[in-house]
Amino acid sequence: MDGQKGVRMFTAFLIKYAEIGVKGKNRYIFEEALARQIKYAVKRCEGEFTVTRAQGRIYVEALSAFDYDELIGGLKTVFGISGICPVVYVEDEGFKKLGEELVRYVGTVYPETDKTFKVHARRARKNYPLTSMEINSGIGSVLLDAYPAMRVDVHKPDILLNIEIREKIYIYSETIPGPGGMPVGTGGKAMLLLSGGIDSPVAGYMIAKRGVKMDAVYFHAPPYTSERAKQKVVDLARIVSRYTGPIYLHVINFTDIQLYIYEKCPHEELTIIMRRYMMRIAERIAGQTQCLGLVTGESIGQVASQTMQSLAATNEVCTMPVYRPLIGFDKMEIVEIAEKIDTYETSIQPFEDCCTIFVAKHPVTKPNLKVIRRHEQNLQEKIEELVDTAVQTAELLIVHC
What is the DSSP pairing of strand 116-123 with strand 151-152?
Answer: parallel
Does 367 participate in binding ligand ATP (rule CB under 6 A)? no
Would you call the peptide bond into 223 cis, given omega within 30 degrees of 0 as the criterion?
yes
Strands (E), 312-394: 322-323
Q: Which of 35, 81, 121, 354 binds ligand ATP (CB under 6 A)?
A: 354
Does 204 participate in binding Mg ion (rule CB under 5 A)? no
| Alpha-carbon Rg for the chain in angstroms | 27
Report 289-348 residues binding ligand ATP (CB under 6 A): 296-298, 302-303, 305-306
Number of residues this chain uses to bind ligand ATP (CB under 6 A): 20
274/383 with CB nearer ligand ATP = 274
Q: Which of 86, 183, 197, 293 binds Mg ion (CB under 5 A)?
A: 197
CB of 69 to ligand ATP, least distance (A): 31
Q: What is the DSSP letter of 307?
A: S
CB of 363 to ligand ATP, least distance (A): 10
Does 195 participate in binding Mg ion (rule CB under 5 A)? yes
Which amino acid, residue 184? V
CB of 238 to ligand ATP, least distance (A): 16
140/197 with CB nearer Mg ion = 197
CB of 229 to ligand ATP, least distance (A): 9
Output phi, psi for 326, to 5 deg: -100, 10
Output phi, psi for 86, to 5 deg: -70, 130
Q: For 40-77, b where at least 16 C-beta lie within 10 A, e where not — what string?
A: bbbeebeeebebeeeeebbbbebeeebebeebbebbbb
The stretch among 25-33, 274-282, 351-359, 378-386 that binds Mg ion (CB under 5 A) is 351-359
Does 255 participate in binding ligand ATP (rule CB under 6 A)? no
Cα–Cα distance, 206 to 208 (Å, whole number):
5
Q: Which does 86 bind (CB under 5 to 8 A by kind): Mg ion, ligand ATP, none?
A: none
60/282 with CB nearer ligand ATP = 282
Q: Which does 294 bind (CB under 5 to 8 A by kind): ligand ATP, Mg ion, none?
A: none
Number of Cβ within a 10 Å radius of residue 149:
9
Terminal Cα distance for the chain, rounded: 30
In the bound complex, which residue of the shown chain has the CB atom lying closest to ligand ATP?
A: 197
Q: Which does 98 bind (CB under 5 to 8 A by kind): ligand ATP, Mg ion, none?
A: none
Sign, CA dihedral 263-265-267-270, equals negative
Output phi, psi for 10, to 5 deg: -90, 125
Report 40-99 residues binding Mg ion (CB under 5 A): none
How many Å separate Cα 294 from the centre of its chain?
17
CB of 246 to ligand ATP, least distance (A): 19
Does 198 participate in binding ligand ATP (rule CB under 6 A)? yes
77/299 with CB nearer Mg ion = 299
Does 193 participate in binding ligand ATP (rule CB under 6 A)? yes
Report 33-72 residues binding ligand ATP (CB under 6 A): none
Q: Which of 162, 186, 195, 244 binds ligand ATP (CB under 6 A)?
A: 195
Output phi, psi for 118, to 5 deg: -145, 140
Closest CA to 329 of 301, 357, 288, 309: 301
CB of 315 to ligand ATP, least distance (A): 12
Q: For 333-358, b where at least 16 C-beta lie within 10 A, e where not — what string?
A: ebbebbeebebbebbeeeeebbbeeb
Helices (H), 178-307: 199-208, 227-244, 255-264, 270-288
The stretch among 12-20, 106-114, 190-198, 202-210 that binds Mg ion (CB under 5 A) is 190-198
Number of Cβ within a 10 Å radius of residue 281:
22
Does 355 participate in binding ligand ATP (rule CB under 6 A)? yes
Q: Which of 110, 172, 219, 323 binds ligand ATP (CB under 6 A)?
A: 219
List of residues contacting ligand ATP (CB under 6 A):
193-195, 197-200, 217-219, 296-298, 302-303, 305-306, 353-355
List of residues contacting Mg ion (CB under 5 A):
195, 197, 353
